[in-house]
C-alpha cells in the first residue's frame, strides 16, 4: 500500500520557523505533483501549496505566499514545506498529498496522516 508519512510538526512561537517533511513509501515521488493542505481547529480544509511533477512550478495560497516554500528531493523521495514567519492562524494539522496528475492543479489521491503545527507563545 502506498503511503505518505509527514513529520516535523510541533509547537513554535509566533514569528518562528518549522520545516515539514513528507516521505513516500512504496512508490516513487519522481514526476508526481505533490501538495500540502491543512485543517485548522474548527475550520475546513485549506489547500496550502503544490509543486508540479517536474518541480519547475510551485503554487501557494495567498495566506502563506512569501512565508512558506515547497520543495522536493526526488533522490530522497521526500517533499518539504518550509514555514517561516509563523502566525497563530497557521495552527493546524498539515497533510501531505499526492496529486492525480503532474500538473499541480489536480485532485489528490493519496494522503498522509498529518502532522500538527501549533503556533503559540
Q: List residues near another protein by CB under 8 A.
A: 35, 37, 39, 44-47, 50, 59-62, 95, 97, 100, 105-114
Distance CA 30, CA 55 (A): 9
* Distance of closest approach, residue 108 Cβ to another protein, in angstroms: 7
Task: Between 23 and 110, name the residue whose CB sits nearer to another protein.
Answer: 110
Task: Between 16 and 93, name the residue whose CB sits nearer to another protein.
Answer: 93
Report how far apart, in Å, the C-alpha atoms of 98 and of each of 12, 18, 25, 34, 68 are: 27, 21, 12, 5, 19
Task: Between 60 and 84, name the residue whose CB sits nearer to another protein.
Answer: 60
Closest CA to 101 of 26, 65, 51, 56: 51
CA atoms within 13 A on the CB side of 14: 5
Q: How many CB atoms sit inside 10 A of residue 13's CB?
A: 10
* Distance of closest approach, residue 85 Cβ to another protein, in angstroms: 20
* Distance of closest approach, residue 113 Cβ to another protein, in angstroms: 5
* Distance of closest approach, residue 104 Cβ to another protein, in angstroms: 8
Amino acid at each position: 500500500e502506498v503511503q505518505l508519512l509527514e513529520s516535523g510538526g510541533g509547537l513554535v512561537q509566533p514569528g518562528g520557523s518549522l520545516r515539514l517533511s513528507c516521505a513516500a513509501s512504496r512508490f516513487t515521488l519522481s514526476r508526481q505533483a505533490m501538495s500540502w493542505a491543512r485543517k485548522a481547529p474548527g475550520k475546513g480544509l485549506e489547500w496550502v501549496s503544490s509543486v508540479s511533477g517536474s518541480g519547475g512550478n510551485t503554487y501557494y495560497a495567498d495566506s502563506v505566499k512569501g512565508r512558506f516554500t515547497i520543495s522536493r528531493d526526488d533522490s530522497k523521495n521526500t517533499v518539504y514545506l518550509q514555514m517561516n514567519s509563523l502566525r497563530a492562524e497557521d495552527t493546524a494539522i498539515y497533510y501531505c498529498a499526492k496529486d492525480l496528475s503532474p500538473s499541480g492543479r489536480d485532485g489528490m489521491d493519496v494522503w498522509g496522516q498529518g502532522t500538527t503545527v501549533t503556533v503559540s507563545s
